[in-house]
Amino acid sequence: MRILHTSDWHLGRSFHREDLLAAQRAFVDHLEATVRDEGVDVLLVSGDLYDRALPPVDAVRLCNEALGRLSAHARIVLIAGNHDSAHRLGFGASLMDAGGVHLRTDPATVGEPVLIDGTAFYPIPYLEPELVRDPWELAERSHAAALGAAMDRVRADLAARPAGTRSVVLAHAFVTGGAPSDSERDISVGGSAHVPASVFDGVDYAALGHLHGKWAVTPRVRYSGSPIAYSFSEEHHVKGYWLIDLRDDGTLDDRFVEAPVPRPLARLRGRLDDLLDDEAHEELVGHWLQITLTDPQRPANPMERLRARFPHALVLNFEPDRDGAADDRTWSDRVRGRSELEVAGDFVTEMTLAPATATELALLREAFEECRDKEVS
């Protein structure tokens, strides 16, 4: 059986205010072509179809279109992730089963497999520990306890099936050994979000979602990662999906299929003039950029000047690399013996990169005098 493992589509998400809908549509086009051309039997989506519980209309429309197109080529098994609204996403799930789209969002269905050509697919939607602790009588409130109880249900069902039944689990969790990025929402409970990979012992393959980088925690426990980069911490990620050939004896072959890159990412650091003049940065003109300026003083109009060369600069940080020894005096020491007007004038200079003008000083003086008059009255 040929399986394509994807996750974390995050339809409706933007990238630092850049609309990603066109990039997500291109990903869907590529995914459909891959499913068709590679002869995929089952497509897995391990959670976070949407970026938020109430996705925008365009994202819902794209998801509806994607599932319709993909289901023409393969069976689909999907679960809700922590970004999805389980109740909203699960609407019509029983009706979609007849069309070969098997959507599971309710923890009560855990342990009930989707059977496809002799293989048992066990969808485990994102489990909020507090919501399953009482009905499942968990000993503790943690992700490890919740997922452990879910896998107990999976193994119990699998043990009752014919010997040699192949098994695949879908789960959305933070499994120890995976590498996080800046774009996943924190799911920690009591400081612990991690689940050991050993929780998946006993199944042939665990298709994980939540972390946005592709990662083989073990040969049988893997993250596909998101198909598109959603933070600058993912600048070196290779995006795509795992193509898994699962044999009758439970052995498997794997290959990673790369997805299209809407626009590459990069991070730059340095002084403004160096960034604008260095020819080595010419190859980054078409990238989305996060730029950190290290000028000792904040330059005037830095983003406007940067975008004249790098039109896709999106994020600007300022971390001055000051020459000489740092001024480690306390605030009291730095203002001692100086008038209110002098301190305020320094602030204007810091913000505008120019000494306060006579007009600005007159306005500051008037403001101080008005404050003093109010104190007296």
Q: What is the pLDDT of residue 303?
A: 96
Candidates 191, 4, 208; CA nearest to 126 is 208
> Quick one: average pLDDT of 291-303?
92
- Paired with 174 in beta bridges are 194
Residue 84 above 90 pLDDT? yes
Confidence class of residue 346 from pLDDT cuts 50, 70 and 90?
Answer: confident
> Pairing between strand 265-270 and 14-15?
unpaired
Q: What is the pLDDT of residue 342?
A: 84
Q: What is the mean pLDDT of the chain?
A: 91
Confidence class of residue 154 from pLDDT cuts 50, 70 and 90?
Answer: very high
Q: What is the pLDDT of residue 183?
A: 64
Confidence class of residue 322 from pLDDT cuts 50, 70 and 90?
Answer: low
Task: Tell me the C-alpha distance between 298 and 271, whole Å.
Answer: 10
The answer to which of 7-16, 178-187, 283-292 has the lowest mean pLDDT is 178-187
> Quick one: average pLDDT of 241-247?
97
Residue type present at position 198: S
- 2 Cβ contact partners less than 8 Å away, ≥ 6 residues apart: 38, 39, 40, 41, 42, 243, 244, 245, 246
Confidence class of residue 247 from pLDDT cuts 50, 70 and 90?
Answer: very high
Q: What is the pLDDT of residue 191?
A: 41
> Quick one: average pLDDT of 235-245?
97
- Paired with 123 in beta bridges are 170
How do residues 31-83 score in pLDDT, each as one tens digit? Answer: 999 999 999 999 999 999 999 999 999 999 999 999 999 999 999 999 999 99
Q: What is the pLDDT of residue 215?
A: 93
> Quick one: average pLDDT of 250-275?
96
Confidence class of residue 372 from pLDDT cuts 50, 70 and 90?
Answer: confident
Q: What is the pLDDT of residue 327?
A: 59
Whole-prediction pTM value?
A: 0.83
Task: Tell me the C-alpha distance between 26 and 47, whole Å.
Answer: 20
Better-predicted residue by pLDDT, 194 or 180: 194
Q: What percent of the chain has pLDDT over 70?
A: 91
Q: What is the pLDDT of residue 168?
A: 98
- Paired with 291 in beta bridges are 268, 316
Whether 282 and 268 have beta carbons less than 8 Å apart is answered as no
Confidence class of residue 190 from pLDDT cuts 50, 70 and 90?
Answer: very low
The answer to which of 120-124, 198-202, 298-302 has the lowest mean pLDDT is 298-302
Q: Write the DSSP assignment of 66-123 as a string of letters.
A: HHHHHTTTSEEEEE--TTS-HHHHTTTHHHHGGGTEEEE--GGGTT-PEEETTEEEEE
Confidence class of residue 377 from pLDDT cuts 50, 70 and 90?
Answer: low
Q: Write the DSSP assignment of 134-180 as a string of letters.
A: TTTT-SSSSHHHHHHHHHHHHHHHHHTSPTT-EEEEEEESEETT---
Q: What is the pLDDT of residue 95?
A: 93
> Quick one: average pLDDT of 161-169?
96
Residue type present at position 145: A
Residue 278 above 90 pLDDT? yes
Residue 244 above 60 pLDDT? yes
Task: Tell me the C-alpha distance between 129 and 49, whole Å.
Answer: 21
Task: Tell me the C-alpha distance between 314 and 366, whole Å.
Answer: 39
Residue 188 above 60 pLDDT? no
What would the two tokens of residue 209 be?
Answer: 């979602």
Whether 246 and 4 have beta carbons less than 8 Å apart is answered as no
